[in-house]
A and B are shown apart, each in its own frame.
Chain A
């Protein structure tokens, strides 16, 4: 059984936000509009955190792409009263939209604030409504959503592999962010396979994880920027 994980090389990340755009279109994430956005209700499954260091004119900007970290010991699933979020056997923290009652305990429990809440029903411009991804359901108002590591792509890759009577090949299942990254800063693969690209990368001395000390064991690893 695979254990899916992601490695983001901050040396390569230019902060272009292509991953954010790819994620939004792939997963039919609602566009909330200016007014809601100013209230802090922007919906992003993949966000780019920016850190400003130093004072003008010597400013250094650091970028940190942040999807759901798919913790191996996730605080969010422990608080869900209806099991709408759970860890599947391949380590992906899945979100079952029709099961969610919108209590938002999981949002409070998540130390990385990766979850977003649908304050209103999604409303797309006509041109975009015709281009929604049929593999991902559109979420109604009143439920919580977050990055699923594009689990529908895993499902598709598995179905394709079943037709060809083989196992999933490395690189066959990539989330939209990893696939779209122009600098290949985001790598994705099986952490349990010692020969995979990601398990090689996490042996790097530059490897770190967010808030490692709280014991959530995230499966999204970062490679720190070299000075």
Chain B
């Protein structure tokens, strides 16, 4: 009598085992990469109501970040400037540009421009801009090289592990106060020594306790 199962079926358990393993690795790997903020959040660049160029204002014209985001050193929130801030210059500059129409409209009507927020943390995570600036963490560490960006884009994942990496070892991100808004800043050779000194001087002790941010 002929065999019910031909000989090749002997290899079937191995083949099925390998297929299941590959599927598992594939599924885990898929969510590992495509589910992480590195993929979902980095590169977020919404279209703003006005084509405002950070590259032009902060880069080519060399305006300081704090001219518009003025509360960043005093407050947890780095404010989005009101139309008044734009009009400080644009009552005189760019009067003939149609791209500025929405700004002038907002100025005359008193209705604020609805900018779209790019860097957004969840509500349950507390973040304080002023504390980070006081410690000497530059804008670039989280926001990337804004002076080169036509439109603002998120360049860091802003995930919890990313926050913790720096909170556990902030040495490479601490700068002297005059370099805070500099872009393309690279730590000098004696950075470790500088960081050690400044951490002691300013009593920098970044919280790694849950309640440091979640409260």
State the A residues within 8 Å of B (CB).
Answer: 86, 88-89, 92, 94, 96-99, 134-138, 148, 151-152, 155, 159, 161-163, 165
Contact = CB atoms under 8 A, between A and B. Distances in A.
B202 A96 contact: no
Given A148-B215, A159-B128, A162-B202, 6 more contacts: A98-B214, A136-B215, A137-B215, A138-B123, A148-B211, A152-B215
A96 B131 contact: no
A86 B123 CA distance: 21
B209 A135 contact: no
Given A136-B215, A162-B134, A97 B124 contact: yes
B126 to A, nearest CB: 7
Contacts of A86: 210
A141 to B, nearest CB: 14
Contacts of B201: 165
A98 B203 CA distance: 29
Contacts of B123: 137-138
Contacts of B214: 96-99, 137
23 contacts: A94-B211, A94-B215, A96-B210, A96-B211, A97-B214, A98-B124, A98-B125, A99-B214, A135-B126, A136-B215, A137-B124, A148-B211, A151-B215, A152-B215, A155-B207, A155-B215, A159-B131, A159-B134, A161-B203, A162-B134, A162-B135, A163-B134, A165-B201
B43 interface: no
B82 interface: no
Interface in B100-130: 122-126, 128, 130
Contact of A151 (B135, B203, B211): B211
A105 to B, nearest CB: 18
A168 to B, nearest CB: 11
B126 A137 contact: yes
A165 B126 contact: no
B176 interface: no
Nearest to A85: B210
B212 interface: yes
A91 B204 CA distance: 21
Contacts of A138: 123
Interface residues of B, number: 22
A78 B74 CA distance: 40
A152 B126 contact: yes
State the 4 A-B residue pairs at the shortest beta-carbon distance, nearest first: A94-B211, A96-B210, A137-B124, A98-B124
Given A151-B215, A155-B215, A165-B203, A89 B209 contact: yes
Contacts of A159: 128, 130-131, 134
Nearest to B212: A155
A165 B135 CA distance: 11
A165 B209 contact: no
B131 A92 contact: no
Contacts of A165: 201-203
Contacts of B128: 159
Nearest to A150: B215
Contacts of A134: 76
Contacts of B134: 159, 162-163
Contacts of A136: 215
A152 B130 CA distance: 15
A86 B131 CA distance: 25
B145 to A, nearest CB: 28
